[in-house]
Amino acid sequence: MPYAHITGWGMAVPPKVLTNDDLSKIVETNDEWIRERTGIRQRHIAGEEQTPSSLAVEASFAALRVANLLPSNLDLIICSTSTPEYLFPATACLIQDRLGATKAGAFDLLAACSGFIYALNMGAQAIRSGSVRNVLVIGTETLSRFVDWSDRGTCILFGDGAGAFVLQASEQPGGVLSAVMHSDGSGGNLLSLPAGGSRHPATEATIREGLHYIYMDGKEVFRFATKVMAQSTEEVLKSAGLTKDDVKVIIPHQANSRIIEAAARGLKLPMDRF
C-alpha cells in the first residue's frame, strides 16, 4: 500500500488588508474588543478581480513549485470551498483548466470550516487505494462577500485567501498517518448561509431579509468547537498510534484564539504547542 506524503505547499492572500481599526469605522467595535475575543488583528479582503479560483491557482502553482511537479502530472484536484464561484461548473474544474492539469479529475467539496481536513483525508485515501499518485488539495474562500458588515459578531471573523497541498504516493512509510471525520447536522442552524441554495433561491424577499449573509450563533458554536477539537485530537492520535508527547505542534483550523485556548486546556497542553 502506498503512503501519501505532503510534498508541496502554497498559499495566496489578496493584497488588501482590513485591520481592526478599519473595522471600527464601519461597525461599533474596536481593536481591543476584537483581539480580546478572537486574537485577530487583521484580515485580507478580495478585490473585484479576485475569485476563489484565481486565489486557488496562485496557491496551487506555489505548491507545485515546492513539490517540483508539473500540473500535467496531477491525477486529482480536490477543492474545498464554501464560496464556490458557481453551483456548477465546479470551482475545481476552473482551477484544473487554468493550471493546465489536463489529466486530472476535479471536484468541489463543501464541508465548511473542516473542509480542508476532509479534502486532505480523501486525497490521502485515494493515494492509499492505488488509484492515483499525485493529488492537489485546495482550500479557497472569499467569505467577505457573504458577510453582513453591520454585524460585528461575524464581520470581524472572516477574510479571504487560499492554501494548497500536493500529496504524492511513496513507498516510504510516513506522510498522512491518520484522520478522523465526524459531523453533527443537528447544529446546522447555528452557523449557516440561509439563502442562495435550492431551498431558498434568490428572490427579492431573501435579499431584503438579509438571508444571503452568514448567520452565526457565536456562543453555541464556541461551546461545540471547544468540545470537539480536543476530542478529535485525542482520537486521531490514538488512531495513529501516537501520544500527545509525540507531537511538537498542533495547527487548528479555528482562527479564534479563545477556542484554541479552550482546546489546549482540554488537552492539558501549553499554548506554545499551538
Whether pTM > 0.85 for this model: the answer is yes
Q: Which residue has the cell 487560499?
A: 162
Characterise 2 by phi-psi region: left (phi > 0), alpha (psi -120 to 50), beta (else): beta
Residue 227, pLDDT > 90, answer: no
The residue among 251, 176, 120 whose CA lies nearest residue 5 is 176
Residue 254, pLDDT > 80, answer: no
**CATH 3.90.1490.10 for domain 3-170:** no
Give CA angle at 218 (147, 212), nearest 5°: 30
**CATH 3.40.47.10 for domain 185-273:** yes
Residue 78, pLDDT > 80, answer: yes
pLDDT value, residue 27 = 96
- Confidence label for 255 from pLDDT (cuts 50, 70 and 90): low
Evaluated on CA atoms 63, 69, 72, 78, the torsion sign reads negative
Q: What residues form DSSP beta bridges with 216?
A: 191
List where CATH 3.40.47.10 sits in the chain. 3-170, 185-273
Residue 184, pLDDT > 70, answer: yes
